[in-house]
Amino acid sequence: MDKILVCGIAGRMGSCSAEAIAAADDLELCGGVDPTATQDSCQAGETSVPLFTDLEQALSSCKPDIMLDFTNPSVVEHNIRTALSAGVSCVVGTTGLSEEQLADIYTCATGDARLFVAPNFTTGAVLMMQFARMAAKYFPDAEVIELHHDHKKDAPSGTAIRTAKLIADAKELPTTAPGRETELEGMEGARGALVSGIPVHSVRTDGYVAHQEVIFGSPGQTLTIRHDSIDRASYMPGVLLALRKVRGTDGLVVGLENLMGLD
């Protein structure tokens, strides 16, 4: 049974993940890390586990097989390097690192440590990205609109960035849509950020969890593909899948589709 350490256990995704791990029969929640912690233990459902403010101390005390990271872009690289260097495999949901950065980070891995990173852990969002890649071949125009809660630290989202790159890689027809040349003076950005040439628009407001739609257009038709996460419970099947499979992967793997048999 793999022992799991949750980094960012006090956050929304971290606490939800800790409860899901504690409830799983084939995984063991062994501890959590929260740099602002003022107590030495925390509760995940009916399970109480030790709580640490320092990752190195947590790794030494808990001796986990896998670290799950849901922290923030400012500390995630340090967390991954620390865990991999200690021979601990990592499952990472924190976005903000490019695949080039991840490849460089993985060079510090020791033993059988593996690194799995997912821009999105919801199976529906992964399917949405795959459907968008399929559609991209047949439409000249494509735009991504992503909508998240107002506490999200990065824009665009990791899901939107990956979606845009998948579309760009699969796209065969030249776009006919106007670009930034149509933006009014003093209102630059109206056409969104270009990610691999695909316009991406980010909405941040209270009331949302995580939502994305991809709009495709060609003469006489449009196609909209949309996914909505209305509760963080939607991420848990993907998180548990990654934790169960990461140690059987080969080195660095990015994208839940690789574990779902979709790619």
Show which residues are catalytic: 148, 152
Q: What angle do CA 44, 96, 119 make, to 5 degrees?
A: 65
> Residues 4, 27: contact at Cβ < 8 Å?
yes
> Residues 152, 13: contact at Cβ < 8 Å?
no
Q: Which residues pair with 68 in a beta bridge?
A: 6, 91
Q: Which of 69, 72, 47 is nearest to 58 (CA)?
A: 69
What is the H or E stretch that residue 218 is in? strand 210-218
> Residues 46, 22: contact at Cβ < 8 Å?
yes
Note if the bond before 156 is cis, omega within 30 degrees. yes
> Residues 233, 19: contact at Cβ < 8 Å?
no
